[in-house]
């Protein structure tokens, strides 16, 4: 079976391309709601600068060459002293549009990823079902530097028992839905709501595969700091953690 790896970043960026936008206007810089609030603030700033722009305003300026001994005439030119406000208003409107596009990307990704997923499975992390977790183990990846080979802990692998109706494809869809949903509502908000779920972490990736009589979910990150955060979820997801719930 082909393994599919889904990242929150990939899901959110697929509907649009934001080009060279500032970092804070990229989809995963904040939640959809925060992007919308930022867009509103940028619009207010654009309006404030727009109100200060006066098309009819003029000021005179003499353009002289700063060269010793020059005999050229010192021409007078007209400028608009409020022109900078027009440029500032334009920049704020562009930022507002980028924030709205980022919000739309996150919401579109969530809607697409969660299509056909029940409300219960959308709202409840699959890792809430600790009774159906068979094992949790570190996820090791090979790292090659020249001829030397080492291993890094990239995250964890959680194996669920094959409950009735579960398939690798279905579980992958549920995982994809949560990655997209967590990005849309905000990673901090999702983590506060589901502190046990490694899918809430920004930059987490997840793939599902069949293993014997169960299904393994590999949660990883290429970022070592995020990988360490994923690993810290391992103990709370172990089957023995059920008794402590």
Give the C-alpha separation, 240 to 245, whole Å.
10
Tell whether 109 and 124 lie within a shared domain.
Answer: no
Tell whether 175 and 229 lie within a shared domain.
Answer: yes
Tell whether 108 and 24 lie within a shared domain.
Answer: yes
Per-residue pLDDT tens listing for the chain (245 residues):
444 444 444 443 433 334 446 788 888 788 888 888 888 888 888 888 888 888 778 776 666 666 655 556 666 667 777 788 888 888 888 888 888 998 898 899 999 999 999 999 999 999 999 999 999 999 999 888 888 889 999 999 999 999 999 999 999 999 999 999 999 999 999 999 999 999 999 999 999 999 988 999 999 999 999 999 999 999 889 876 554 44
* Within-domain flag for 3: no
Give yes or no for a contact between 103 and 35, defined as CB atoms under 8 angstroms apart: yes
Return the pLDDT at 173. 97
Return the pLDDT at 63. 61
Tell whether 156 and 189 lie within a shared domain.
Answer: yes
Tell whether 86 and 127 lie within a shared domain.
Answer: no
Cβ count within 10 A of residue 31: 22
Per DSSP, what are the bridge partners of residue 54? none
Tell whether 217 and 104 lie within a shared domain.
Answer: no
* Within-domain flag for 145: yes
* Within-domain flag for 148: yes
Return the pLDDT at 35. 84
Domain boundary among 113, 137, 171: 113
Number of folded domains that form the chain? 2
* Within-domain flag for 2: no
Return the pLDDT at 18. 44
Tell whether 165 and 208 lie within a shared domain.
Answer: yes
Return the pLDDT at 22. 77
Tell whether 108 and 127 lie within a shared domain.
Answer: no
* Within-domain flag for 10: no
* Within-domain flag for 8: no
Q: Which of 215, 212, 233 is nearest to 156 (CA)?
A: 233
Domain boundary among 113, 142, 177: 113
Domain, as residue range, for 225:
118-244
Tell whether 93 and 28 lie within a shared domain.
Answer: yes
Domain boundary among 113, 138, 169: 113
Tell whether 125 and 206 lie within a shared domain.
Answer: yes
Return the pLDDT at 36. 85
CA triple 209-215-221, angle to 5 deg? 55
Tell whether 52 and 72 lie within a shared domain.
Answer: yes
Centroid of chain to Cα 113? 15
Return the pLDDT at 83. 80
* Within-domain flag for 79: yes
Tell whether 88 and 139 lie within a shared domain.
Answer: no
Return the pLDDT at 71. 59
């Amino acid at each position: 079976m082909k393994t599919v790896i889904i990242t929150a970043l990939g899901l959110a960026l697929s509907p649009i391309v934001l080009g060279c936008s500032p970092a804070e206007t990229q989809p995963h810089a904040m939640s959809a709601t925060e992007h919308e609030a930022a867009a509103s603030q940028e619009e207010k700033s654009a309006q404030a600068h727009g109100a200060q722009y006066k098309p009819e305003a003029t000021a005179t300026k003499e353009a002289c060459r700063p060269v010793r001994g020059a005999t050229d005439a010192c021409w007078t030119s007209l400028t608009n002293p409020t022109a900078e406000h027009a440029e500032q208003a334009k920049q704020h409107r562009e930022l507002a549009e980028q924030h709205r596009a980022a919000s739309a990307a996150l919401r579109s990704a969530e809607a697409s990823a969660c299509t056909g997923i029940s409300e219960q499975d959308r709202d409840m992390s699959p890792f809430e079902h600790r009774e159906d977790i068979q094992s949790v183990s570190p996820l090791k990846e090979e790292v090659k530097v020249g001829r030397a080979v080492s291993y890094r802990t990239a995250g964890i692998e959680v194996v669920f028992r094959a409950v009735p109706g579960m398939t690798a494809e279905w579980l992958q869809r549920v995982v994809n839905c949560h990655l997209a949903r967590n990005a849309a509502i905000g990673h901090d908000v999702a983590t506060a709501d589901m502190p046990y779920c490694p899918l809430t972490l920004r930059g987490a990736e997840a793939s599902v595969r069949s293993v014997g009589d169960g299904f393994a979910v590999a949660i990883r990150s290429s970022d070592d700091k995020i990988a360490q955060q994923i690993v810290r979820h391992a103990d709370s997801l172990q089957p023995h953690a059920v008794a402590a719930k």
